[in-house]
Amino acid sequence: MSSFRDSSILIIETGRTVVRAGLGIHELLKTSTVEIPARVGLRQTAGEPLSSSITNGKQPSGTGEGSDYWRSLASLSRLSSLPFHSSTTANVNDYLVGAQLDEALEGGNDILVSWPFADGDIRDCTQAEAIWKHIIFNRLQIKRTQNESPVMLSIAPGLSRASQERLCQIFFERFNVASFAIVERPMTQIYATGQLNGIVVDIGYEKTDVSPIYDGFIVHAARSSTSLGIGDCEKYLANLLRSNQSVMAAASPPDSPRDPEAIQAFLLDLVKYIWSDGHIRVPSDGQIAEVEDEGVTDIAAVLVAGKEKAVIEAGTKKKATAKASAAEQARAREIEALDLITLQFRDSSITLGKERHRFCEPLFDPSLLYPLPHEDNPLSLQDTVGFSVSQTDVDQRQYIWQGLFVTGDLASRVKGIGTALQSRLSSFILGNPDQHNEVQPRSIRVVNVPEYFAEYREKGDGLAAFLGTSIVAKISFNDVQGKNFVSKLDYDEKGPRAVIDMSSALL
């Protein structure tokens, strides 16, 4: 049996709220060609829902120290507040996915929307199958009868044996794939940074998942989540922007005032535009010292980085500033200190200041959202990460702390999250100085997707799961002796249980 052609390999990355896919692995690993929300829709007439669930998923913020308390707390936090509806009569073809679902919702149809992966597990295999079927046959135009593609599926960690076997059965029997393997998403994310040890902090829209990894394996007993995410940050900044006159004039023009719901919708859309367009940075904990520019000392490094134009422009600006009057210089410094930007949004010109950089504050201080102590209040990112690492073996922690990796959509657009989290984690490694020994962690290192992945330079940290899955697929499917995937022959001989012994784990 020979290895597969790289051009036929199919990568499917399945997250809580987004599914990405791409066909073919190239020498310069490329980003996904398909990206859709991980949701399905069911018309009310297609089948009566058997049950539905919407859970608040909020994590207690108490300070109990017992491992049982924390473990139950971490488990509860994985629950999602996104809607889910199951049906005993609906089949795969009854579900609407992608653009078809978007059109039905825009048309005002009575649609039940479900997010089958939102709990970090698979709520409904039929709904999951509908999403993957849409991607493989509709978006990527692969023909079932001629399907020569091996599939590498990255998915949430900790799936039960029965769930993994069910997935194997779906891909072979329903999609007719050439071979199949499963890899857990946090492993692919840390692989994308070139590390085998670390802690992956995956910030999603309504959840942040934290997974310690040691020697290439997830420490499952130490995984945790907090019900803080991008949505909380959006609501927080939208509220702060109500004190910005420029923003409110655009949200509700004096000559055409809007109702409160329309104003809130405008503010949330504006905030989404601000962060997704890269206008936000995250300051570290405490004061940040401004570094005095002492001039360019390494011309070669500047040329290699392609920054010579920026350096020249900066030098010209300095000379012009030197000739300006004292009053003009003072005004320039004042404007720079305000950190103002002007955006064009929905035919309005909106000026924003430093308040936009407060976007991520709720992630580190949930009391901004939940001022009153309550058992359902979520833990901050730093407390969630600190707890997860504390649940690993003592001799593993110094290695895990050397790979702090913040990923997710937010990491693609907002700079400085990893460093900001690092600065808030110092209390978890700075114990009693008298107790320092060879296994005592002394530092925390932030890691990123390397610059040499050209396709990922701008958004690499956020797209790490797809990149890592591509790396695993390239290695696995080109090593037939490694037994890191299930072939059709294996499936015929062993059935779905073959996936338990023949999936990518440590390469």
On average, the pLDDT of the chain sits at 84
Q: What is the DSSP string of 362-395?
A: HHH-GGGT--S--TTPPPPHHHHHHHHHHTS-HH
In the chain the domains, ranked by start, together with CATH numbers, are 6-222+450-501 (3.30.420.40), 230-273+288-370 (no CATH)
User: Structure pTM?
Assistant: 0.83
Q: DSSP 3-state helix, strand, coil percentages of the chain (rounded to 5)?
A: 45, 15, 40
- Which sign, positive or negative, has the C-alpha torsion 314, 410, 220, 30? negative
Q: What is the pLDDT of residues 311-327, one digit of tens each?
A: 445 555 555 556 667 77
Q: What is the pLDDT of residues 62-94, one digit of tens each?
A: 333 334 433 444 444 567 788 888 888 899 999
Q: Which two tokens stand for residue 399?
A: 């290695």
pLDDT band of 183, cuts 50, 70, 90: very high
Is 296's pLDDT higher than 70? Answer: no
23 phi and psi angles, rounded to 5 deg: -110, 120
Long-range contacts of 99-105 (CB under 8 A, 24+ apart): 101/39, 101/40, 101/41, 104/41, 104/43, 105/41
Q: Which two tokens stand for residue 103?
A: 């059109």
pLDDT band of 120, cuts 50, 70, 90: confident
Is 13's pLDDT higher than 70? Answer: yes
Written in H, E and C, the secondary structure of 8-69 is: HCEEEEECCCEEEEEECCCCCCCCCCEEEECCEEEEHHHCCEEEEECCCCCCCCCCCCCHHH
Q: What is the pLDDT of residues 129-154, one digit of tens each?
A: 999 999 999 999 999 888 889 999 99
The residue that leads in pLDDT, 340 or 200, is 200
Element (H, E) at 107: none
Q: What pLDDT does 336 receive?
A: 66
CA distance readout (Å), 122 to 80, 160, 175:
12, 10, 18
% the chain with pLDDT above 70 = 80
* CA atoms of 117 and 36, how far apart (whole Å): 13
* Residue for token pair 């990112």: 381
Pairing state between β 208-214 and 198-203: antiparallel
> What is the CA angle 238-226-377, rounded to 5?
70
Q: What is the pLDDT of residues 355-390, one digit of tens each?
A: 999 999 999 999 999 888 877 889 999 999 999 999
* CA atoms of 46 and 493, how far apart (whole Å): 37
